[in-house]
Chains A and B, each alone.
Chain A
């Protein structure tokens, strides 16, 4: 029983980390109908900015500065890209975010360098053993994983409150529902987009710091996005809770597959297993677990 619980717990922790990135996708899709492929590049960029700033100054200052950079980026993206592509089809906007991805990846490494930069949050790295009396050998957990889970939880809670309780949140939901209708009742579309890209920049920064403190800040951080994509399609593009539940399912599924299926059909499963799992779920519910059901009319 002990090892199984350990695997499941490990999976849940990994899942929370995926959810952190997936949240960024969901936010932008919800508010502007754009599937933002650049989320991974934003994670990289934010983490690079934070890592390099924190070499020179205390962490809170670095955090605020990095956030400033992300807001600036959000503004530029709205100004230079989205504004010119209003009313284009989803696929065109999707591909434009590929352009943004390449641009940000190049820019980030050009400004901040392309080595591996550590982020040290001063947390204990050694895993702790708990429940030693219940199971033989106990269960290993990492403190920083627990912290990441707490951060993700807090983030989701505050985002949910922001979306449901504030005026801006209501405006965001209106824009997500219908651009033109929102505009006609006087919601400033452009400002909403800047806000939502800034919020997802904030999510990217948090995700970047959490991932960066685990892996070190390096180019491969941008590839985390590819891990988060199955989470988003599994949970549904439009659902914040979906991103969390999806992340947990994918995290646990991946770890279980690696431990129990890996030895049978060969290792290295984790790259495609998540996609396979998401596909199976999609066959049953094509809009993802919590996505909005979509009705076709002729």
Chain B
């Protein structure tokens, strides 16, 4: 009734190519943005910022990056944690060794360094495919774990092996309250979501999707797999590197390589799958799901008033988490984004489905 596009005619090419061609969608997105930028900072509590919103946005950014690689180009990577780690440590070293550098520039440079690392580890994708590639990307994970815990130069010879990020200052102000940090992360996440959304409907995005759907066929119609695959690794690593730098600087503050271990990589791939492969919106939904679920599982025994030991609770949490993953894969293997699309379809013909 309310969600219907009849009467909306496209009268110019610009309108035809608009990101959101239905007016209601545009209103909805503007509404979400206004809520995110204005309403939330006014009303949200510190806990909400620190425990949910900031991690959610940063992980969503990383999930977008991973989704470009896995969902759009079809190259499975289990090494996202490693690339986040590269981003975090590059940003740390740049910020510590070149103190005058603008922090935003530091993040961008950290992203570029991660891009180089990502392309290096993307080279095997030219030879290896499918599950072999997926497990081969674990090499990146273990190598980076080793590199950043053993080579002291990267941690600035810190004796404990953990490093602390300097405060985030730019435009003459220090961004250290949760609200300011939230706004910073939100702005970056929105910007990159927009970039990703446009990238995947451009020439390069189409070459990724062709490679994903059938790489031999793509090669035959003139797409060079070297460019397609390596550019996907490059762009994806850039996103993931920036997310890693933000995760370290904004969310963690001080960290050690363990913060980006293999479990981080696995949870990233869950976000992408549960959210929906090949969907930018899905990356946000998946990130929200994975961030909120453990917090909920933690709280449920309290709410129900069941006395339960911490060890038992953590084992139960594992079990429920595993069961939920299986449940979601069985019920909707195409992820939450597909559920969203179905809901929109239904809404279009509501209340007269015939």
Please report A residues at the B interface, Cβ cutoff 8 Å: 35, 80-81, 84-85, 88-92, 94-96, 98-107, 109-110, 114, 226, 229-230, 232-233, 237, 266-269, 271-272, 275-276, 278-279, 282-283, 286-288, 296-298
Contact = CB atoms under 8 A, between A and B. Distances in A.
A110 B312 contact: yes
Contacts of A103: 318-319, 322-323, 326
Interface stretch (B5-13, B54-62, B145-153, B200-208): B145-153
B138 to A, nearest CB: 6
A233 B138 CA distance: 11
B146 A272 contact: yes
B270 A110 contact: no
A92 B333 CA distance: 7
Contacts of A230: 135, 139
Contact of A279 (B139, B262, B318): B139
B266 interface: yes
22 contacts: A90-B130, A91-B131, A91-B134, A95-B269, A95-B325, A98-B322, A101-B322, A103-B322, A103-B326, A106-B315, A106-B316, A106-B320, A110-B319, A229-B138, A268-B150, A269-B146, A271-B146, A272-B143, A275-B136, A282-B136, A283-B128, A296-B215
A271 B140 CA distance: 11
Most A CB contacts (10 A, CB to CB) among B129, B149, B151, B333 go to B333
B330 A84 contact: yes
A251 B300 CA distance: 45
Contacts of B321: 99, 102, 106
B124 interface: yes
B311 interface: yes
B37 interface: no
B270 A95 contact: yes
Contacts of A297: 216
Contacts of B214: 298
A98 B132 CA distance: 17
A110 B316 contact: yes
A96 B325 contact: yes
Contacts of B312: 110
Given A288-B132, A298-B214, 15 more contacts: A90-B130, A91-B131, A95-B270, A99-B323, A100-B326, A101-B322, A104-B322, A106-B320, A229-B138, A237-B131, A271-B146, A275-B139, A282-B132, A283-B124, A286-B127
Interface string B154-170: 00000000000000000
B273 interface: yes
A14 B298 CA distance: 40
Interface string B260-292: 001000100110010000000000000000000
A109 B318 CA distance: 10
B240 interface: no
A145 B266 CA distance: 33
A73 B167 CA distance: 51
Given A94-B134, A103-B326, A282 B124 contact: yes
A286 B129 contact: yes
| Among all A-B residue pairs, the 3 with the closest Cβ atoms | A106-B318, A102-B322, A103-B322
SS class of chain B's interface: helix, strand, loop or mixed? Answer: helix
A281 B242 CA distance: 32
B227 interface: no
Nearest to B330: A84
Nearest to B146: A272
Given A90-B130, A283-B127, A109 B315 contact: yes
Contact of A272 (B132, B142, B270, B318): B142
A107 B266 contact: no
Contact of B329 (A90, A92, A107, A271): A92
B316 A298 contact: no
A175 to B, nearest CB: 18
Contact of A275 (B131, B143, B216): B143
Contacts of A88: 329, 333
Interface string B106-145: 0000000000000000001001111110111011001101
B150 A110 contact: no
B220 A271 contact: no
B101 interface: no
Given A95-B270, A271-B142, A272-B143, A102 B325 contact: yes
Given A90-B131, A99-B323, A229-B135, A85 B142 contact: no
B63 interface: no
Given A103-B322, A105-B318, A282-B132, A266 B151 contact: yes
Nearest to A269: B146
A233 B130 CA distance: 11
A100 B135 contact: no
Contacts of B320: 106
A298 B219 CA distance: 10
B326 A99 contact: yes
Contacts of A91: 76, 131, 134, 273
A100 B324 CA distance: 10
Nearest to B74: A91
A226 B131 contact: no
A138 B128 CA distance: 43
B132 A94 contact: no
A106 B324 CA distance: 13
Nearest to B132: A233
Nearest to A265: B150
Given A91-B76, A278-B139, A272 B319 contact: no
A92 B273 CA distance: 8
Contacts of A269: 146
B266 A98 contact: yes
A276 B139 contact: yes
Given A35-B131, A275-B142, A106 B326 contact: no
